[in-house]
Amino acid sequence: MPRALRINPADNVAVVLEDVAAGERIEVMGEGFEVTALGSIPRWHKVALEHIAKDQPVIKYGEEIGRASTEIEAGSFAHTHNVYCTRGYR
β partners of residue 34: 27
The pLDDT tens digits of the residues spanning 20-74 come to 999 999 999 999 999 999 999 999 999 999 999 999 999 999 999 999 999 999 9
In angstroms, the CA 24 to CA 68 distance is: 23
Residue 26 has what pLDDT?
Answer: 98
State in words which class domain 3-84 has.
mainly beta
Is the entire prediction scored with pTM above 0.95? no
